Amino acid sequence: MTDKSKVVKELFENTELYLTYDYNLQIRKETVEAFTEGKSFNHILDIPSGTGAMSIPLLDRTDRLSLLDISSNMIAIAKKNIPEKYLDKTEAVNADFFELDLPKNSYDLIICLGLLAHVNSPEQLINKIAGLIKPGGLLIIQNTDSSHFYSYLIRFYLGAKNLIRKQSYKLNNVSAKFIDGKLRENSLELLKSYRYNQSFLGFSNLFSNEKKYQLTSNFFGNAKQPKNQSFGSDYTYLFRKKQ
């Protein structure tokens, strides 16, 4: 395991820290639902699965689901969340994605939400994932566009906060242009995207999760009926691998 993976693992072993932002999890779950509406699958890979909140609801539309996360506590929660009637077709693996030798061209849906910001090499991640998708298969991948004006505001805010309280953990800066280019190089074509903003900057503590969800959906709509998309720095994309 690389030093970066060790740090990320330690960070996400504290599941509470991440799961308190549940308005964001709700938006991600609805986006996955909207992007997969009416489709069924042979084998879905959810990497990183976290608690399985985005892929477990798809269990009645897939023959198999593989959940994978480096955090043992996230995987423990995911295991508890699998309905008993679906245990036979679900595997929950606690491992570093980069250390696993997974079968190439074999998943017809890969869900990758919240990982690009935390890996050693975003390029290595995209290349590895692209190789695992079946021709004609789908990829739902999330990234916060580092070149969007709202990302500059977030970095400015975090930079100022850092002057007061030093935080050593840094997220990767990955631009929308990079994602578009790398996925295209890997024969993936963009079908759809949905954008919103994940951060309320310094105002986060003023609002409950319900309020943040409501404000976000009022302004940005949802994946089925998006609005004001150019203001959103956080992209969830739906790509398809060419045949």
Ligand X SMILES: C[S@@+](CC[C@H](N)C(=O)[O-])C[C@H]1O[C@@H](n2cnc3c(N)ncnc32)[C@H](O)[C@@H]1O
Nearer to ligand X, 79 or 187 (CB): 79
Nearer to ligand X, 15 or 187 (CB): 15
Shortest distance, position 50 Cβ to ligand X, whole Å: 3
Residue 56 or residue 70: which is nearer to ligand X going by CB?
70
CB of 243 to ligand X, least distance (A): 28
Other Cβ atoms less than 10 A from the Cβ of 188: the count is: 24
Nearer to ligand X, 186 or 198 (CB): 198
Interface residues with ligand X (CB under 6 A) are: 5, 8, 12, 18, 25, 28, 48, 50, 54, 68-71, 74, 96-98, 113-115, 118
> What minimum distance in Å lies between the beta carbon of 93 and ligand X?
9
Give CA–CA dist 26/33, Å, rounded: 11
Q: Which residue number, 11 or 187, has a Cβ lying nearer to ligand X? A: 11
Tell the smallest beta-carbon distance from residue 163 to ligand X (Å): 25
Give min distance, CB of 20 to ligand X, in A: 12
